Amino acid sequence: MLLSLLITTSALAQDCDVATLSKDIVEMGPHEAAPTFVRLASCDAGAAKKVASAVVPSLIGESEGFDAAVSAIEVGAGAVVMDWMAGLQRDEQSRAIRAYGKRCQESEAIQGFLVGAEGKLGDQFWSDRWYRALTECRSPGTTGLLTKRVDAGAADDRSAFFGVVEAYAVNVGDGALPKLSELVKAEEDLEMQINLVGAFADAAQAGTVSGLNPQIAEMAATAVRELAGGLAPEAVDKARTTLNVLNDEAGADGLVAVRFKDVLQDDGGLLYGTVVFENATCKNGKVQQRYHVAEVADPGQTWPDQLEEKVQSTADANWALNLAERCKGEGDIKVVVPTAPFENKDAMRKWFKDAIKQNTNAEAKKSVRVDEDTVAL
């Protein structure tokens, strides 16, 4: 144990030979200089700051170079790092920004550096996506940057604005919900509505390392449901997706009546239909077909992409789908449903006609129609 302690102490002393490190580092190549600078910074911040202007400009835009840049910021050489950043390729800048973001929450120096970068770069800070470093970096300065930018509106760069809104929502959490609601209510543009609604899941920390926050998710789901009535139809689709992410499946299903409010029936439900085809090749080689036609009445809780599964369940339980069995052959069953609810029964009957025409088996000697009772979902 004593020998181990002596060896460790000796190694630390060697690592922290500030004079030697300060002298040797300026003569090193970039691959050696990067980890050496990190070591020097951990030993003596003042010494590292003195050599930063000689070391940082030669750093390579890779993992060890980013670590060294972080160390340079933390010892007070942020201005040198800013100059170095200007010479990096776009993808290298993105990785460097990601490295700053990983350390931002625990480092006041990084926080100050990022706030200062926005002051120096202005609009370029946002167009170059520096805000990605702020997503989970919560301090008055960093959160204030995001809040100020969201308040300024989309301007000409919508893509960057949507990214800022996402970062803002994650950063501020439940405190972002009132602002997001305000933005959605004031917006008529479809693309804007869709992206703003999606940010409610970000506010609940969906997709973050910490995971979905149940309390915020419940508040966010309530806000999305309240907003849904004022959304464009395609934005309601996004609201449905968002509610599912927020673990509000019942709320998501309930939005179908909002999404298709223009075709609600007198009872407040939705009108669908189905044609279920039985195709069989019998033991004697003959091809037979039978199809079952039914109106589908939904109380306003079934989305079109959920319809086939529900109809299949009803048909299996209640209809005689035994054509292949009766002729001792083999066959398959095909459930055909519409892509949207119908406005009225005339539209439903027209769809029946088209669905039957498109799926009739030309090899079958005849196709038998069976009209079934209304399927009540």
- Residue 330: phi and psi, rounded to 5, are -125, 155
- Every domain of the chain and the residues it spans: 13-88, 153-259, 264-376
Q: Quick count: other Cβ atoms within 10 Å of Cβ 2?
A: 6
- Round to whole Å and give the CA distance between 313 and 129: 49
Q: What is the pTM of this model?
A: 0.85
Give, for 239, the enclosing helix (H) or strand (E). helix 233-245
- Round to whole Å and give the CA distance between 131 and 138: 12
Is the predicted pLDDT of residue 164 greater than 50, yes or no?
Answer: yes
- Round to whole Å and give the CA distance between 73 and 66: 11
What pLDDT digit, counting tens, does each position of 60-87 carry?
999 999 999 999 999 999 999 999 999 9
Half-sphere exposure of 287 (CA within 13 A, CB side): 9
Report the percent of the chain where pLDDT is more than 90: 91
Residue 134 near residue 169 (C-beta atoms within 8 A): no
pLDDT at 157: 83
Residue 40 CA: distances (Å) to CA of 64, 102, 218, 361: 14, 21, 48, 79
Q: Which tokens belong to 261?
A: 């409010």
What pLDDT digit, counting tens, does each position of 317-339 carry?
999 999 999 999 999 999 999 99
What pLDDT digit, counting tens, does each position of 80-133 carry?
999 999 999 999 999 999 999 999 999 999 999 999 999 999 999 999 999 999
Sign of CA dihedral 347, 348, 353, 355: positive
Mean pLDDT score, 256-272: 97
Residue 149 near residue 126 (C-beta atoms within 8 A): yes
Q: What's the one-letter identity of residue 229?
A: G
Give, for 310, the enclosing helix (H) or strand (E). helix 304-318
Q: Which residues are CB-contacts of 119 (< 8 A; sequence separation ≥ 6)?
A: none
Which candidate, 305, 177, 307, 298, places its Cα nearest to that of 240? 305
pLDDT at 15: 66
- Round to whole Å and give the CA distance between 233 and 236: 5
What pLDDT digit, counting tens, does each position of 340-360 carry?
999 999 999 999 999 999 999
- Round to whole Å and give the CA distance between 343 and 279: 30
